[in-house]
Structure 1
Amino acid sequence: MGSGSIRRSAGALFRGVVSGAPAPTGTFTDVPTSSAVHPITAAPVRRRILTRTGAALAGTAVLLPPLLLAAPAHADEKPKDGKGGQHAPKAPAPPAGMSKVGGGRLGQAGTQVQLKPGAPKLPDDLTARSWIVSDAESGKVLASHNAHWQLPPASTLKMLFADTVLPKFPKDQKYTVKPADLAGMGDGSSLVGIKENLSYTVHDLWLGVFLRSGNDAVHTLSAMNGGTAKTVQEMQKQAEALNATDTHVVTPDGYDAPGQVSSAYDLSLFARAGLQNADFREYCSTVSTQFPGEVKDGKRGTFGIQNTNRLLSGDYDVKPYPGIAGVKNGYTTNAGSTFTGVAQRGERKLLVTVMNPEKKEHNEAYKETAKLFDWGFAAADKVEPVGRLVGPRSEEGDARTGGAKLDGDRTRAGLEDASGGSGGAWTALAITGGALVVLGGLALLVHRRWPLPELMRRRGGKH
């Protein structure tokens, strides 16, 4: 792995809470930053990648590990059209029935938005199979497109990994990596460059997870947590606890596996939960830093790493988005490009998740995310919400049944406002004599805000 002197960005997003996590090992290639990644079939099931080098960052080479890849979602053959020619395979359609967690409209296929007079129109060149724009604090969904479509998540699933494991280990705890810790990673896994028999702090490992999407860091943290199988089970339980009902976890790092899915809605829930934690905010907003390297002549070296979130670090065709503060990007052949981002403008903080743009241009997921951020900040007060990001089961009960947990131990059945009005308000109902009886005033509205400190990025040691 190449070393270099890259200025440190210990960026901490909002100001806030805690950390912890495990990682894997493998080989990797030293390449300049700002490279594009292209998959090449290497096996019947898995795919490997080649990296295409781009311009080095300020003349300094940093490791850009290959992004996660796996089996293609569809056959490579192109069907013939009626005239005997060739045309691209028809894009898959979202299922007719999807989850209605967060509001009835979110379970409908297609774009959901309710514009008020004077509201700007949505961008007309969005190609993602699924996307959602929401208020990070109130949870109101401003607009969505196939929000609950279950799709491969790629490395955006690492947000759930962080929600699950990060709080378990103090950031200054040290761990010596064993060879077995790095076994079992998928071919072509993205890596930060962890070496067996060397020690790393938990803080180092989480920077490897968030900046380089390092599967080696994920597997190391998983080993600390009792192993990959245990970690996957805990991640699934965490998803259920967060009312993320579209998610099925198979791997802790997001590497493609049969049956592993999530949704734009659930990924937004993972980001929103993680951003309550100060360490999560720090890691996902760090632009660049120095990472521990190998020992030479009795001295431990370091090398520079840069965040692969291009709305945070920038690229030759994408500028850092104003106010961006994380959170996580991903890519596999099966998932395409996926991304969840959080940004602040004034007092407003928005979350945007984009999954698998059909337009396969370089950095397309980031470009479509930026357009949705621009629209969301301009339209936030000029739209009626079409749903909401629900809270965890500890606060609201099981969102699939409409169960809202209110006033301590009193649990009441609830019905979601299908229009998503009042921030996805719940209509509280009580069961009396087998019949549903509307409680006083017909509706008990629950408005849940998750306050977040001001977003910030620290660059070049300036706090």
Structure 2
Amino acid sequence: MHTNRFPLAALVLAVAAATLSTSPESIAAPRHAAKAAAQKKPSADAAAPAPAVGESAVAGGAPALAAKAWLLMDFDSGQVLASANADEPLPPASLTKMMTSYLVEQALRTGKLKKDDLVTVSEHAWCRGSSSESCMYLPLNSQAKVIDILRGIVIQSGNDASKAIAEHMAGSEEGFAKLMNAEAQRLGMTHTHFVNATGLPDPAHKASARDLAILARAIIRDSAEYYPIYAEREFTFHGIKQGNRNALLYTDPTVDGLKTGHTEEAGYCLVTSSKRNGMRLISVILNTRSAQARADQSRTLLGWGFSNFEKAAPIPPEAVVATAKVDFGKVDTVPAVLGAPWTVTVPRGQQVQTSAQLKPALEAPVAKGAVIGKVVASSNGKPIAEAPLVAQADVERAGFLLRGWQHVTKMFGK
């Protein structure tokens, strides 16, 4: 997270980057910027989507944002705090590259890739000097280190970098898309289907706001070593310096990621993460009319979230939540406790109620720490989060004679 003041030059760079309108997400090298701007009318001329009114537990509701879909998620719990059209599959443009980068990061984490491994740039991956797409400008048949490729994907949104690593990891971009879809399924992204590693338009290439928030949460949670790259404001490769298109990185020190996207079909999109006073929120804005609008709406949504929600600990650590009945054990019951400290995010000033749900017909042996139920937190009568309950102690299985007696007493309802 950046806490220092940002230099004026960086702010000017951010504003310039945010207002270019080439597609998809194409701020090319500085030498291409003027040509690209001249080739296309300013995106501000595009019609703004009708304001999408969201659903939220906050009295008075969530803000209405001029985007086709949007969502605000609490990072720690995964709770959706407010949303509109959250499950509608939409073109994600370069937000797709969050899955591409996530797969690279996890391969690095598990040792399947090394930072210094060399990736070859094929003719399919190579950008042919066009200013109509976003590129890292890797030379044809050249090689680049995996860590540079990762930065090219995250910071420069390089289509060439994305295609090159896809071929390196899976043999082809089509093969890599299969890995992307398998990972999406594992993460619970139920309204997403990837066709390519870049987000270039395809009728079958879709993702929902909820799914993209789930993916962002996975990146922050699972890629701790590499997540700081998402906050880097520029990257230079082969003498070409390009700025990160996430304008909030230059204006809000609490923002530390994640990714921008834009095509004509997808509109302007942004997934953002911000952490303030120990609470991290993830916002998703899909299909709004300009780079400025996606930044403004993300800022509005995050500000509303931090102003209207707070963290609460419904149950103190190590407190006994309930007592579970155990059949055929040396003891008849076992205390049920939280497996880990638990916090939930609730509208400011609202009370939190909890209820325990224990597994029926629990039989010994029961190991200490085994999940034996769950506790559900509710606010204003609506469930907002849940956590597993575990056994506080071991329960050994009773001997033969004691179990026989217990069987008899069960038969007679005693």
Report if the CA contact (8 A) 2:195-2:205 is conserved. Answer: yes
Match of 1:372 among 293, 301, 310: 301
**Counterpart of 1:57?**
none
Task: Tell me the secondary structure at the aligned position of residue 272 of structure 1.
Answer: helix
Q: Secondary structure at the match of 2:68?
A: strand
Relative to structure 1, the CA distance from residue 376 to residue 262 in structure 2 (aligned partners, 3 Å threshold; closer, same or farther) is same
Deviation, 1:176, is 3.5
- The equivalent position to 1:36 in structure 2, one of 14, 19, 31, is 19
Q: Is the alpha carbon distance of 1:379 and 1:209 closer, same or farther for their aligned partners in structure 2, counting shifts above 3 Å?
A: same
Partners of 1:175 and 1:205 in 2: how far apart? 8
Q: Match for 1:364: what amino acid?
A: A
Q: How does 1:112-151 map to 2 (within 5 A)?
A: 112-115=55-58, 122-124=62-64, 126-151=65-90
Larger radius of gyration between Structure 1 and Structure 2: 2
Opposite residue 370 of structure 1, the aligned amino acid is: R
The corresponding residue for 1:253 is 198
- Aligned runs of 1:155-304 on 2, under 5 Å? 155-168=94-107, 169-182=113-126, 188-225=132-169, 226-276=171-221, 277-291=223-237, 293=238, 302-304=239-241
Aligned with 1:341 (options 269, 272, 275): 272
Say whether 1:332 aligns with 2:263. yes
Q: 2:243 aligns with which of 285, 306, 310?
A: 306
Q: How far 1:369 moved relative to its partner?
A: 0.4
8 Å contact from structure 2 (residues 194, 205) kept in 1: yes
Question: For residue 175 of structure 2, what is the amino acid of its counterpart?
Answer: K
| Larger RCO (alpha carbons 8 Å, 6+ apart) | 1
Report the TM-score when normalising by structure 1.
0.57
- Match for 2:176: what amino acid? T
How far did residue 198 of structure 1 move?
Answer: 2.4
Cα distance between partner residues in 2 of 1:128 and 1:322: 24
Q: For 1:257, what is the secondary structure of its paired residue?
A: coil
Instruction: Quote the sequence identity (%).
Output: 25
- Determine the C-alpha separation between the residues in 1 that align with 2:204 and 2:128: 18
| AA matched with 1:337 | Y
Tell me the amino acid that sits aligned with residue 178 of structure 1. Answer: S
Ranges in structure 2 where 5+ consecutive residues have no aligned partner = 4-14, 38-46, 108-112, 313-350, 362-370, 377-385, 389-414
Give the direction of change, closer, same or farther, for the CA distance of 1:127–1:356 in structure 2 (3 Å limit). same
Structure that is richer in helix per residue: 2
Q: How far apart, in 1, do the equivalents of 2:154 and 2:356 lie?
A: 35
* AA aligned opposite 2:172: G
Any conservation in 1 of the 2:53–2:62 contact (CA below 8 Å)?
no
Match of 1:111 among 25, 50, 54: 54
Contact 1:132 1:353 in 2 (8 A): yes
Number of equivalent positions: 306
* 3-state SS in 2 of match to 1:132: strand
Give the Å deviation of 1:49.
7.8
How many Å apart are 1:151 and its aligned residue?
A: 0.9
**Are the structure 2 counterparts of residues 325 and 38 from structure 1 closer, same or farther at C-alpha, using a change threshold of 3 Å?**
closer
Counterpart of 1:232, as a letter, is A
> 1 CA distance for matches of 2:354 and 2:70?
18
Kept in 2, the 8 Å contact 1:62–1:303? The answer is: no
What is the alpha-carbon distance in structure 1 between the residues aligned to residue 146 and residue 172 of structure 2? 16
Tell me: CA distance 1:52–1:240, structure 2 relative to 1, closer, same or farther (3 Å): closer
> Kindly tell me: are residues 371 and 215 of structure 1, through their superposed partners in 2, closer, same or farther at Cα, counting changes over 3 Å?
same
Q: What is the alpha-carbon distance in structure 2 between the residues aligned to residue 184 and residue 425 of structure 1?
A: 60
Which deviations, in whole Å up to 9, do the C-alpha atoms of 1:7-44 show, x marking residues without a partner? xxxx899xxxxxxxxxxxxxxxxxx95363446xxxxx
Q: Tell me which amino acid in the other structure corresponds to 1:130.
A: A
Secondary structure in structure 2 of the residue aligned to 1:171: coil
Q: Secondary structure at the match of 1:128?
A: coil
Matches within 5 A, 1:378-389: 378-381=307-310
Question: Over residues 35-69 of structure 1, what are the superposed CA-to-partner deviations in whole Å (9 max), with x where a residue is unaligned?
Answer: 63446xxxxxxxx789899xxxxxx94765979xx
Q: 1:346 to 1:247 in 2, by over 3 A?
A: same
Q: 1:364: Cα distance to partner?
A: 0.4
TM-score (norm 2): 0.64
Partner AA of 2:19 in structure 1? A
Alpha-carbon distance, 1:346 to partner: 1.2
